[in-house]
Amino acid sequence: MKELLFFALMITANNLLTSDSKSANTPPNAAAPPVAKVIHTENHINGGHLVDDYKWLREKSNPEVAQYLEAENAYTDSIMKPTEPLQQKLYEEMVSHIKETDVNVPFKDGDYFYYFRWEAGKQYQIYARRKGSLETGEQITLDVNELAKGEKFMALGGYTVSDDGNLLAYSTDNTGFRQYHLHVRDLRTHKDLPDTAEKAGSIAWANDNQTLFYTVEDAAKRQYRVYRHKVGTDTKDDELIYEEKDERFEVSVAKTRSRKYLFIFSNSHTTSEARYLDASTPSSEWKLIAPREQDIEYYPDHSGDQFFIRTNDKGRTFRLVSAPVADPGKNNWKEIVPMRPDVMLSDIEIFQDFYVLIERENGLPQLTVVDLASGAKNRITFPEPVYTAGPEVNMEFKTRFFRYAYQSLVTPPSVFDYDVARHTSVLRKQNEVPGGYDPANYKSERLWATAKDGVKVPISVVYRKDLKKPDGSNPLYVSGYGSYGISTNATFSSARISMLDRGVVMAYAHIRGGGDLGKTWHDAGRMMNKMNTFTDFIACTEYLAANKYGARNKIAIEGGSAGGLLMGAVTNLRPDLFRAVVSHVPFVDVMNTMLDASLPLTVGEYEEWGNPNEKPAYDYMLKYSPYDNLKKGAYPAILVKTSFNDSQVMYWEPAKYVAKLRTLKSDHNVLLLKTNMAAGHGGASGRYNRFKDVAFDYAFVLTQLGVER
The answer to whether the CB of 701 falls within 8 A of the CB of 672 is no
DSSP string, 333-388: -EEEE--BTTEEEEEEEE-SSEEEEEEEETTEEEEEEEETTT--EEEPP-SSSS-E
pLDDT in tens, 393-407: 999 999 999 999 999
CA angle 663, 664, 666 (to 5 degrees): 115
Res 64: pLDDT: 97
Contacts of 680 (CB under 8 A, 6+ apart): 153, 155, 173, 175, 176, 177, 178, 643, 645, 646, 647, 648
pLDDT in tens, 541-580: 999 999 999 999 999 999 999 999 999 999 999 999 999 9
DSSP string, 110-125: TTEEEEEEE-TT-SS-
Q: Over 90: is that where the pLDDT of 679 sits?
A: yes
The stretch 500-522 carries a mean pLDDT of: 97
The answer to whether the CB of 11 falls within 8 A of the CB of 576 is yes
Contacts of 635 (CB under 8 A, 6+ apart): 571, 575, 661, 665, 667, 669, 671
Q: Which DSSP state fits 59?
A: -
Of 231, 224, 78, 250, which Cα lies nearest the Cα of 164? 231
Phi, psi of 178 (to 5 degrees): 60, 40
Neighbouring CB atoms inside 10 A of 403's CB total 19
Q: Over 60: is that where the pLDDT of 2 sits?
A: no
Res 30: pLDDT: 62
Ramachandran category for residue 472: left, alpha or beta (phi over 0 → left; psi -120 to 50 → alpha)? left
**E strand or H helix that includes residue 88:** helix 84-96
DSSP string, 418-456: EETTTTEEEEEEE---TTT--GGGEEEEEEEEEPTTS-E
d(CA 90, CA 692): 8
What residues pair up with 583 in beta bridges, in sequence order? 559, 640
Give helix 63-80 / helix 652-662 axis angle, nearest 10°: 60
Res 26: pLDDT: 53
What residues pair up with 252 in beta bridges, in sequence order? 265
Res 170: pLDDT: 98
- The burial class, CB within 10 Å (0-12 / 13-18 / 19+), for 306 is buried
Return the amino acid letter for 404: Y
Neighbouring CB atoms inside 10 A of 13's CB total 9
Share of the chain above pLDDT 90, in %: 94
Position with higher pLDDT, 472 vs 181 = 181
pLDDT in tens, 617-664: 999 999 999 999 999 999 999 999 999 999 999 999 999 999 999 999
Q: Over 90: is that where the pLDDT of 225 sits?
A: yes
Quickly state the pLDDT bin for 14 (edges 50, 70, 90).
very low
Over its C-alpha atoms, the chain yields an Rg (Å, rounded) of 26
d(CA 311, CA 320): 6
Q: Over 60: is that where the pLDDT of 358 sits?
A: yes
Q: Over 60: is that where the pLDDT of 22 sits?
A: no
Q: Which residues are catalytic?
A: 561, 646, 681
Quickly state the pLDDT bin for 469 (edges 50, 70, 90).
low
Quickly state the pLDDT bin for 601 (edges 50, 70, 90).
confident
CA–CA distances in Å: residue 395 to residues 202, 487, 538 = 17, 25, 43
For the chain, give the mean pLDDT: 94
Q: Over 50: is that where the pLDDT of 21 sits?
A: no
The answer to whether the CB of 225 falls within 8 A of the CB of 216 is yes
Beta strands in 537-627 (DSSP E): 555-560, 580-584
Could you give the strand order of the β-sheet that contains 424-430, starting from the edge strand earlier in sequence? 388-391, 401-407, 414-419, 424-430
Quickly state the pLDDT bin for 467 (edges 50, 70, 90).
confident
pTM of the model: 0.93
d(CA 333, CA 322): 6
**Between the CA atoms of 594, 600, 603 and 607, what dihedral angle is there, to the nearest 10 degrees?**
-80
Q: Over 90: is that where the pLDDT of 193 sits?
A: yes
What residues pair up with 275 in beta bridges, in sequence order? 264, 288
pLDDT in tens, 23-32: 334 555 567 8
Of 413, 493, 425, which Cα lies nearest the Cα of 460? 493
pLDDT in tens, 275-331: 999 999 999 999 999 999 999 999 999 999 999 999 999 999 999 999 999 999 999
The answer to whether the CB of 365 falls within 8 A of the CB of 390 is yes
The stretch 111-136 carries a mean pLDDT of: 98
β-strands 476-480, 555-560 pairing: parallel
In the chain the domains, ranked by start, together with CATH numbers, are: 13-17+63-95+437-704 (3.40.50.1820), 104-149 (no CATH)
Res 23: pLDDT: 38
Contacts of 609 (CB under 8 A, 6+ apart): 526, 527, 530, 590, 594, 617, 621
